[in-house]
Structure 1
Amino acid sequence: MGKKKLSGASGASGETHASAEELEARGWKRAGSVTFSRPKVGVGYKSIRDLMGEEYIDYLDLSIKNKLGEGAFANVFLAKLIDGTEVAVKMLKHEHLKNEEEIFLFLKEIKTLKKLHHRNIVQLIGMGGVQDQKGKVIELFVVTEVLKGGTLRRLVQDQMITVHHKQYSIYEATQWCLGVAKALQYLHKATPKVIHRDLKLENVILTVSPRTRKKGEEIVAKLADFGLATLLEKHTKDLYSDIVDEVMKKPEAMWSSLTRTRSNKVVALLEKMQSMSSYGSPSNDESMYSGYAEATGVAGSYGYMAPEVFLNQTYTEKVDIFSFGVLMYNLCYRVIPSLMIMSNGDTQDMVVYAKQVADGFRQPLSDEKIPKHLNEIIESCWSHDPDDRPSATKVVDMLTAVLESEVLDPDEPVGGCCCIVS
């Protein structure tokens, strides 16, 4: 296929570029040469091409096939490199490209993360972008290996809809949790130490879908989207600053009537969820939970946020362990409480929920629902005090011990009746 240029705004060099919307509308078949140099900028700033070096990927080296999906921060496309390798391309949304200093800090962080290699981490291949004549970044994309098994969030969401059809076994869920824990172990032992800060079901992708796997085929869970919290942090903090300031800095008696109403609604919903014998839509209505991207907050997502992060306190890698505990709960109990809240409200309700978690609320655990040893791991991971949470290495050891014991059945059948628990 010959190289095809898209029409769009022209720079002094005659080169053209197209907006993310135009790229999406045309399927982003092939973009022209779009990157401008940045010769006269402040100290420490370079063009994206210069900054990324070997990690830089030009539009011309990508052949976009189709759109895979859309998240809170990016549109995701399936593409091919010149050598025919299939890749995933994440085109960041424009609202996350407003602060130049944050963008270039993000690029430097991504350059460091490119050096990470682990079986349970989605491999970052490179980055690219578009700058106008003044050097302003107007498009930015990340290129990674492509995985076609879907996210854990999609899997659990489907399970919430198809209540009576078991999508996966507890043994498999524990295996995937072990994979995520090994990824965290690797990150936390890296030099310099890497804190993910946005660990959630959406950011864990499977190599193969449980629905389409062949008999005996291994499904590997891989952790994705490192460094994106750096770019999202200021935008989301500004977006929800009013309600965050109110619930953090004022006693409940001084909250506005709207915030008190939100709080009462969230409490009532949580009580209702805890009294339900199962989660899910009785009518199997897929639209009930579709379209609710996880609400992203100051650093991480409100539904997975450690108390010290919400309270704007100094934090360590133990914030990832807290989020891991929430992720493990959601996967093993086959439910996403934050999704239930979002489907009955909005992001500001999630801020209220995060405040309740910061004050000590946790979802109830039941040894009748999943094995006691798994509940003990969840409970230790989401401990309020970071010092009481285990290290990633300890979590790996505990999960390995459970899998090697006879507590779980590796041959547990799937596809039959499933009780999704509260």
Structure 2
Amino acid sequence: MGGVGDIKGSDLKPLRKLGEGAFAVVEEAVYTPPSWEGQDRTPSGKPIAPRRVAVKRLKPAIIDHEGDLESFINEIALLRKLANRRIVEYIGVGSSDLSSEEAKRKSMFLVQEFMDGGTLKKLVSRQMLDMSRHIYSFDDAFRWAVHVAEGLEYLHTSRPVVIHRDLKLENILLKGTDPHMSEAKIADFGLVAIVRPRDRALHEKLEASDAAQLQRQQSVSRSTFMRMMSSRKQLAMSPQEAWDESFKVNQLARMRTLPPQQLSGRTGSYMYMAPEMYRQEAYTEKVDVFSYGVIIFEVCAISIAGTEEEIESYAAKVSRGYRPPLPAAWPEALRRLIAACWEQDPALRPSMAAVKEALARMQAEGVPAEMQKLAIQPMCQCAIC
């Protein structure tokens, strides 16, 4: 478990906006830990030096929506527990306005490591616009592919299983401004699903429990969180611990009402959506494998899959079996790997461990160098053809 704990808004010096989505704004800032108070130190006891960080805040209009606030709380609690070099590092959480409980709620923020290389989508877009030079090589593409595969393997083999559900180029961030030296990490866990191992006997036992009690557990949300926040002094509970507790109770309620491994419904971006998710059928972590295949295709084809990321008609076409054509000139091993990730039947898609092995074999056999020799041109950006 990483992070330094609660962070004061006064310890952050905003620098610039990094990006803005439908739900949140992310900005670059300098975080100066209050090391003179002995709160933030390395394991060796040395004060933690100021560092550039990324600060994520929900938009005020969004944070008033109970479901979105709960998702943000869950994301924070999960990130505290993830510890893998292929996941963007969690640093801490806090509120910038402590004048009232309402102000605390509306000024919540999440602090993570600053990824100075930006998003993988931005880099692929730059390469598409300037094919006269190699902004990134296929050695780089395969290195990033391995990094993302390692991160997904960590998530999918965790207990409980973590399904990202929104893998796309925008959510793969690069550490390092030189593409030839950069590392790729997975970011944005706002749509994550956590699935406990199969336990049919336990599930049936829980199904028979008192319905009223289940309803009370399911109702834990913003009101519970606010009560935890208001009483945290008496309980010696930090905002971070309160979010964790709210997260645990909400997850327990979900686990008690849903059969294990039974997830359904559409979540994420249409251009990366697995067929079973679009059809709102039960799905597993293999939806991430499908999305991963799209990412590898885009990076190697030097093409963004569609001029619009939310084209439902394209996702419908994919759900019926359509896939973008794989260039015949590509090495057969790469074509097989992407096709396997895109299998219509999720049970036939490989595990991320198998994907890693396939990538390692291709690297050893010189596939990236073979790709580099090809006269690669950006593929059609149309999401329909």
Asked if these proteins are the same fold (TM beyond 0.5), I'd say yes
- TM-score if structure 1 supplies the norm length? 0.63
Tell whether the 8 Å contact from 1:164 to 1:419 is kept in structure 2 after alignment. no
Q: Give the structure 2 partner of residue 265 of structure 1.
A: none
Q: Give the structure 1 partner of residue 189 of structure 2.
A: 226
Q: Secondary structure at the match of 1:329?
A: helix
2:348 corresponds to 1:381: no
2:6 corresponds to 1:61: no
CA distance in 2 between counterparts of 1:69 and 1:196 reads 20
Which residue identity does 1:118 align to in structure 2? N
Tell whether the 8 Å contact from 1:164 to 1:418 is kept in structure 2 after alignment. no
Question: Would the alpha carbon gap of residues 407 and 418 (structure 1) be closer, same or farther in structure 2, given more than 3 Å must change?
Answer: closer
Superposed CA deviations along residues 94-132 of structure 1, whole A, max 9, x for unmatched, are 343233255235414421321212221110112234688
Question: Would the alpha carbon gap of residues 364 and 89 (structure 1) be closer, same or farther in structure 2, given more than 3 Å must change?
Answer: same
Deviation for aligned residue 1:202: 0.5
Question: Would the alpha carbon gap of residues 76 and 410 (structure 1) be closer, same or farther in structure 2, given more than 3 Å must change?
Answer: farther
Q: Give the structure 2 partner of residue 363 of structure 1.
A: 324
Question: Would the alpha carbon gap of residues 95 and 399 (structure 1) be closer, same or farther in structure 2, given more than 3 Å must change?
Answer: farther
Q: Give the structure 2 partner of residue 304 of structure 1.
A: 272
Superposed CA deviations along residues 156-197 of structure 1, whole A, max 9, x for unmatched, are 111222233332122211111111001000111112211111
2:92 corresponds to 1:142: no
Q: Secondary structure at the match of 1:337?
A: coil
Q: Secondary structure at the match of 1:408?
A: helix
Which residue identity does 1:117 align to in structure 2? A
Question: Would the alpha carbon gap of residues 77 and 105 (structure 1) be closer, same or farther in structure 2, given more than 3 Å must change?
Answer: closer
Among 31, 46, 55, the alignment partner of 1:81 is: 31
Tell whether the 8 Å contact from 1:187 to 1:195 is kept in structure 2 after alignment. yes
CA distance in 2 between counterparts of 1:411 and 1:330 reads 14
Q: Give the structure 1 partner of residue 89 of structure 2.
A: 123
2:199 corresponds to 1:199: no
Superposed CA deviations along residues 270-309 of structure 1, whole A, max 9, x for unmatched, are xxxxxxxxxxxxxxxxxxxxxxxxxxx9411111011111
For 1:244-259, list aligned pairs within 5 A.
none
CA distance in 1 between counterparts of 2:361 and 2:126 reads 29
Deviation for aligned residue 1:418: 5.1
Q: Give the structure 2 partner of residue 34 of structure 1.
A: none
Q: Give the structure 2 partner of residue 175 of structure 1.
A: 143
Which residue identity does 1:308 align to in structure 2? E
Give the stretch that moved more between structures: 77-86 or 375-384. 77-86
Tell whether the 8 Å contact from 1:77 to 1:88 is kept in structure 2 after alignment. yes
Tell whether the 8 Å contact from 1:89 to 1:141 is kept in structure 2 after alignment. yes
Question: Would the alpha carbon gap of residues 364 and 155 (structure 1) be closer, same or farther in structure 2, given more than 3 Å must change?
Answer: same
Q: Secondary structure at the match of 1:128?
A: strand
CA distance in 2 between counterparts of 1:101 and 1:411 reads 45
CA RMSD of aligned residues (A): 2.7
Tell whether the 8 Å contact from 2:162 to 2:192 is kept in structure 1 after alignment. no
Tell whether the 8 Å contact from 1:159 to 1:334 is kept in structure 2 after alignment. yes
Tell whether the 8 Å contact from 1:75 to 1:93 is kept in structure 2 after alignment. yes
Q: How many residues align?
A: 289
CA distance in 2 between counterparts of 1:158 and 1:203 reads 17
Give the stretch that moved more between structures: 303-312 or 103-112. 103-112
- TM-score if structure 2 supplies the norm length? 0.68
Question: Would the alpha carbon gap of residues 411 and 307 (structure 1) be closer, same or farther in structure 2, given more than 3 Å must change?
Answer: closer
Among 399, 404, 414, the alignment partner of 2:359 is: 399
CA distance in 2 between counterparts of 1:63 and 1:221 reads 26
2:128 corresponds to 1:160: yes
Q: Give the structure 1 partner of residue 20 of structure 2.
A: 70
Deviation for aligned residue 1:229: 5.2
CA distance in 2 between counterparts of 1:299 and 1:392 reads 21
Tell whether the 8 Å contact from 1:131 to 1:138 is kept in structure 2 after alignment. no
Q: Give the structure 2 partner of residue 260 of structure 1.
A: none
2:256 corresponds to 1:320: no
Q: Secondary structure at the match of 2:81?
A: coil
Tell whether the 8 Å contact from 1:86 to 1:146 is kept in structure 2 after alignment. yes
CA distance in 2 between counterparts of 1:225 and 1:140 reads 16
Deviation for aligned residue 1:336: 0.9
Tell whether the 8 Å contact from 1:73 to 1:92 is kept in structure 2 after alignment. yes
CA distance in 2 between counterparts of 1:121 and 1:128 reads 21
Superposed CA deviations along residues 72-104 of structure 1, whole A, max 9, x for unmatched, are 432221112223121111222234323325523
CA distance in 2 between counterparts of 1:387 and 1:131 reads 49
Question: Would the alpha carbon gap of residues 201 and 190 (structure 1) be closer, same or farther in structure 2, given more than 3 Å must change?
Answer: same
Deviation for aligned residue 1:57: 2.4
Deviation for aligned residue 1:367: 3.0
Which residue identity does 1:419 align to in structure 2? Q
CA distance in 1 between counterparts of 2:75 and 2:305 reads 32
Tell whether the 8 Å contact from 1:321 to 1:389 is kept in structure 2 after alignment. yes
Gapped regions of structure 1 (runs ≥ 5): 1-52, 231-296
Q: Give the structure 2 partner of residue 91 of structure 1.
A: 57
Q: Secondary structure at the match of 2:163?
A: coil
Q: Give the structure 2 partner of residue 28 of structure 1.
A: none
CA distance in 1 between counterparts of 2:343 and 2:61 reads 34
Gapped regions of structure 2 (runs ≥ 5): 34-49, 194-264, 381-385
Question: Would the alpha carbon gap of residues 409 and 162 (structure 1) be closer, same or farther in structure 2, given more than 3 Å must change?
Answer: same
CA distance in 1 between counterparts of 2:166 and 2:366 reads 33
